[in-house]
Structure 1
Amino acid sequence: MTVRVDIAEQATVAELVAHIDAGEDVLLTRDGETVAIVTKVAAPAKRIERIPGVWAHLGPMDDPDIFFRPDPEFAELAEAHDEDDFYRPQTPEK
């Protein structure tokens, strides 16, 4: 069922929430024209619970600090010298 409320009447919020909680849609109107439709929000989907130790069958990590050290490939790229001349300002030749 839909409840139509004119803003000029200024129905109490508690009354409107009661209608919405009962599953009814509330139409807010101004001068007979619908301004907004208020509906009940669906309950959020239940999250899947985490299971600690789900990857335990893979055994302990060989190097637990692997994520804290810099990647050697990125370090090599950061020190690349092949494009230094491209970005260095050119001096006019005499």
Structure 2
Amino acid sequence: MEAIELGREIGKLPHNLQSEVLAFIELLKAKQENLSKKKQREFGIGKGKIKISEDFDAPLEDFKDYM
């Protein structure tokens, strides 16, 4: 729907509904601003923060009976 068409349709509405449309437009604009402000995740940001021990794959003592 083009902007001119949209304006005509909104103009046909009663004043109270036009106010609701305006409030909804403001809500959508605020929502869009919040989405654009979110920081994009950066690949590799946690590199070096997690350490895995050398014996990670070693069998556990608790499971000796099952091996």
What TM-score, normalized by structure 2, do the two folds share? 0.34
TM-score, reference length from structure 1: 0.28
By relative contact order (CA 8 Å, sep 6+), the higher-ranking structure is 1
Task: Pick the structure with greater CA Rg.
Answer: 1
